[in-house]
Structure 1
Amino acid sequence: MRRRSVAAFTALALAALALTACSTNDGPDAPGGSADDGLDVGAAWLAAGTLIALVTDGSSSCRPFVDGVVVDGGILVVTLKESTGEERACTDDLVQRGTVVGVPDGITPGTGIDIQVTLDGAAGETSFGETSLPDYTGRAVDEYTPSAGWVDADTFALLTWGSSSCAPQVESATATAPDSVEVTFVQPPADQVCTMDMAPQVAVVTVEGDVSPDATISVAGGGALPGGSIPID
């Protein structure tokens, strides 16, 4: 019975990503207007170029979700919205947050692209930023398997699959050698209750120490990933 439930929820999760990627919401015509042009945004390819991680700075308790995606003149235009509870304020911290975006129709997966991002903040503010991705040149990746992609020289996005309500939290990431990074996840509490769905989960990881662009990841703690290493593409 559990297997059937996971499969059904997985299909729903992927359908939601597909619908988001095919959205025709209007994107920003250009930076400016009522938007604050100060959004620092990064991006990385995941899942062999079929998914994109967008990285923004902000509160750890008000992580952004995708509110709209459209391709406009060959540019990927994404609207993000910070999530808040009805009676919950955002924590006053500043962390890097990852949001998964499915590559929409009209864009060949893994093809280099310019990206415009509008972020509607929890306090009602709007900010705008731009980034770009080169062509994906990494390995092939099987469906529902972990993958990772560089955001910048010492930061990467790590994709795992699991419950949408219990995303793994990174405790540390250390370069044990120039071509090897050990990531340790926080051990979840024994009584943690998670939803029975299968969704993409992205963690933004900053490496301590010098690391090569060709590095691979090994994972400890948290039970988030199987054994073995994961290349950072």
Structure 2
Amino acid sequence: MTKLLHTIGALLLNAFGLQIFRTCFANAMEDEECESLLSGPPFSSVFFSIGVYIIVVNSTLFPRSFHAPKMVFLILYEFLAAAFILEFALACIWTPIDVLLSTTLPSYICHTLRQLGFNGAAVSFLANKSLTTVLTYTAAIAFLLLTLHVVDAVDYAVLRDCGAMCFLTHVQEKFWARMQREFPFFVQGAKGSCRCKVRGKKRSKSRGNNGR
């Protein structure tokens, strides 16, 4: 599994807009006048990048069938590979979504309103950017939450069955478990653990007992 320590720098560079492979994706992120196509809220792309990064750190970037290189080369490889994936995802996946939600969709809605004779509503809609902001943030945060579920980083059943405080404890335990795997010298996480039993696990356990 990819190391946090090797790749966290790639996420930070991406969040601050510092790109290593910028020339590879310039056409995907800029128009004919070299202006950025990203017109949505800046933090929305950060949420999306974090989601992609979570997938990266829960995957294996270096195939196990290959001979393991020296540690310094492995660190450099994982860093560059993570940076490339983040920049590719931002340019070729998030940028078209951002353009759709921030430019194409509002233009289409405005055109439809004018066709229906609601010129005043069309002008008001163009002047009000809150709807596109909400749509963009919703798409980015939904992707991040879905990513956390897909890679099994968190269990949303804890939130459903036990409440927000127990869920936060669960997230903290998951985070500390990952940190302790990579940094054995780290102090142990929070001692207080959530004692709530998740329904899904309870059901599967009872089914196993019935089978016996």
Taking structure 2 as the reference length, the TM-score comes to 0.27
Q: Which has the larger radius of gyration?
A: 2
User: Using CA pairs below 8 Å that are at least 6 residues apart, which structure has the higher relative contact order?
Assistant: 2
Structure-1-length-normalised TM-score? 0.26
Which is helix-richer, 1 or 2? 2
